[in-house]
Amino acid sequence: MKAQDIALVTGSSSGIGFETALLLARNGFNTYASIRNLEKSKNIAQIGNKEKLPLQVVQLDVNDYRSVKEAIDKVVAENQRIDVLVNNAGYGLLGALEDLSIEEIKAQFETNFFGVVRVTQQVIPVMRKQNAGTIINVSSVGGRIGIPGLSAYHSTKFALEGLSESISHELEPFGIRVVVIEPGVIRTNIMNSSIIAKKAQDTKSPYFSFVQQVERSFKSAMENTSASSPPEEVAKVVLQVVTSESPKLRYAVGNDASSIIQAKTTMSDTEFGGLIKQQFPSYA
């Protein structure tokens, strides 16, 4: 890391983005914590001011091209470079495919996938010009495996995995590194920002009970400290990546993520499907 390395983190109002922005700033990165709704910036701004961190909040809505461009133009105008981009903004959508509207699925992709594309496309020319940079895309263990009730969410993360792998080859000749972070169950407020599809909330839906079970299962896992990891663990991996001379393409974060990805790669599809059914017995 150079003395004036510049980092931009999307989705920094809470959870993984919040902890990542703070940890990077605490380790000397001049960090821009981007937040869609600046009303949610008070907490991170107060911590930054109290600790006198090289951190400032910038408004950025990954769904809005103008907002993305203005935020990145601001960072470049003030620093003439961007060394680290952490694409973290996203949310979950619960519901079986039959209960999802096309509009709900498009909205999920708009934030979780196309939001990454918008920000990354604006940052690539900056990094290419400086012949250096690291792009970190926060995916999920759900970018490697699929479970029922989260088909739209998993689809966005599978897409992000493919995008990341492809551009890692495209950008390597320009000194730009691309890394995918794959967290398991992380103790964040993602369930508060997640959306249950409108039809999935109807008690007449054939999937109603199951979707309720999925929601309860995730909330329970997040409350169980032995079954989940704090967002600080993801932030630590991000710091490890940006300070490494030769980072890997993928990093699973959390014991649950590592074990389930290992199972996915060593089991047959039938065997792994049986494992999923064990986790959701009422649907089996």
From the list 153, 168, 199, 207, the catalytic residue is 153
Domains of the chain and CATH, by start: 6-279 (3.40.50.720)
167: tokens are 């551009």
**8 A C-beta contact, residue 72 and residue 97:** no
Residue 59 CA, chain-centre distance (Å), reads 18
Q: Would you call 153 a catalytic residue per the annotation? A: yes
139 is catalytic: yes
pLDDT tens for the chain, 284 residues: list them.
455 799 999 999 999 999 999 999 999 999 999 999 999 999 999 999 999 999 999 999 999 999 999 999 999 999 999 999 999 999 999 999 999 999 999 999 999 999 999 999 999 999 999 999 999 999 999 999 998 999 999 999 999 999 999 999 999 999 999 999 999 888 765 655 689 999 999 999 999 998 988 888 777 767 666 667 889 999 999 999 999 999 999 999 987 888 889 999 999 999 999 988 887 766 54
**Which one from 14, 157, 164, 251 is the annotated catalytic residue?**
157
For 146, list phi and psi in degrees, rounded to 5: -125, 135
Of the residues 12, 14, 34, 139, which is catalytic? 139
Strand locations in 74-217, DSSP E?
84-87, 93-94, 133-138, 176-183, 195-196
Q: Residue 157 catalytic?
A: yes
